[in-house]
Amino acid sequence: MTALPNNSYQKGMLKKQIQLILYELYFFAQKDVMIGLSTKQKRGNKMKIAISSDHGGNNLRKEIIQQLEELGLSYKDFGPQTNDSVDYPDYAAPVTEGVASGEYDRGILICGTGIGMSIAANKMKGIRCALVHDVFSAKATRCHNDSNVLAMGERVIGPGLAREIVATWLAQEFEGGRHERRIEKISALEK
C-alpha cells in the first residue's frame, strides 16, 4: 500500500495530481456531452433551432452557428447580417415567436450582456428564456426550468465557454416530476 504523504511538499504534489485528474475527468465528461449530442442527431434527432443576436452578439452568434453546423443540427439564422447597430427586441421577436409557435424546438439569443435579449424573450407567452454564463446553470435550467430559449452575452464570456454551455444546454433533458408543477405555475402567471 502507498504511504500517505507526511510533509507539505508531498501533500502539495498529491493535491496537484488530484487536481490534474479532476481536470481531465471534466474535459472527458464535456467531450461526452458533445459526442452524445451528435450521435443522437445521427439517430434522427430532428431538433430545430432558431438563433439571432444584435450587433453586440454578432461574433459569438457566428461562432455558435459554426458549432451547430459541426454538430449537424438544423437551424435558422435570424441575423443580423451586418454589424450595424440594431435593437435587440427586434431580433428576439422572430426567434421567440418561432419557438412559441412550435416551428422551432429551441432558441438561442445573443447580445452584449444577454440581459436585454432575455428580458425581451421572457415577454413572449410560452417562452422560458435562461440567461446562462456557466455550464452548471446550463444543465440546471434544462433539468429544472425546461428552458426553451438560451441567452448569452458576447461581452461576458469567451467562445470556448459559450460552446460548452450550448452543448450542455442542447443535450440536457427536462427532469419533469415536481418541476413540471412549477412550470405549470409559471404558465399560469401568463394568464
Neighbours of 117 (CB within 10 A): 33
Among 80, 98, 107, 112, binds ligand RB5 (CB under 6 A): 112
- 115 scored as a contact of ligand RB5 (CB under 6 A): yes
- The single-letter DSSP state of residue 132 is -
Of the residues 33, 52, 54, 141, which one makes contact with ligand RB5 according to CB under 6 A: 54
Which CB atom, from 67 or from 118, has the smaller least distance to ligand RB5?
118
What one-letter code names the amino acid at 114? Answer: G
Q: Tell me: does residue 183 bind ligand RB5 (CB under 6 A).
A: no
* Residue 111 sits in the site that holds ligand RB5 (CB under 6 A): yes
User: For the chain, where are the E strands, in sequence order?
Assistant: 48-53, 74-77, 106-111, 129-131, 149-153
Binding mask 121-140 for ligand RB5 (x = CB under 6 A): --------------------
Nearest to 37 by CA among 74, 63, 73: 73
Tell me which residues in 62-91 interact with ligand RB5 (CB under 6 A).
88
* Edge-to-edge strand ranges of the sheet holding 48-53: 74-77, 48-53, 106-111, 149-153, 129-131
Under rule CB under 6 A, residue 156 binds ligand RB5: no
| Positions that interact with ligand RB5 (CB under 6 A) | 54, 56, 88, 111-113, 115-116
